[in-house]
Amino acid sequence: MLPAIQERRVYVRSGPTDMRKQINGLSVMVQKSLVQNPFDVAYFMFCNRQRKLLKILYWEDTVFCLWIKRLERDRFHWPRSEDSVKKITTEELQMLLGGIDFWNAHRKVEYTSVY
């Protein structure tokens, strides 16, 4: 499992990513197309076109780590818009890894008045 999940920010690269990319290619993508610092205390998430393969890149002390999850059946729920980055919470990360489609879930509504 991923280390210290509650202490990290989570960034999702929307749309499909070429999964032939490994640590070097993904870290360059984080810096150039996501416009983020790959050395931050964060997870950077990528998914393939079929939405069956998920990669999470993160920096830990002195090394890059690459975590991979592959589904044999079903698909990950993933935002389809190309070349954008979305920040999600660690709770949403847990839901995503657990197969829950939080992208289309109802959002909490807060009211300030009844009229």
pLDDT in tens, 64-115: 999 999 988 888 888 877 667 888 888 888 888 887 777 766 666 677 887 7
Instruction: Quote the pLDDT of residue 92.
Output: 84
C-alpha to C-alpha distance for 96 and 115, rounded to whole angstroms: 37
- pLDDT at residue 30 greater than cutoff 90: yes
**Alpha-carbon distance values, 49 to 12, 40, 90 (Å):** 14, 26, 23
- Mind listing the pLDDT tens digit for each residue in 39-50? 999 999 999 999
* Full-model pTM: 0.81
Domain boundaries, the chain: 5-104
CA–CA distance, 46 with 16 (Å, rounded to integer): 7
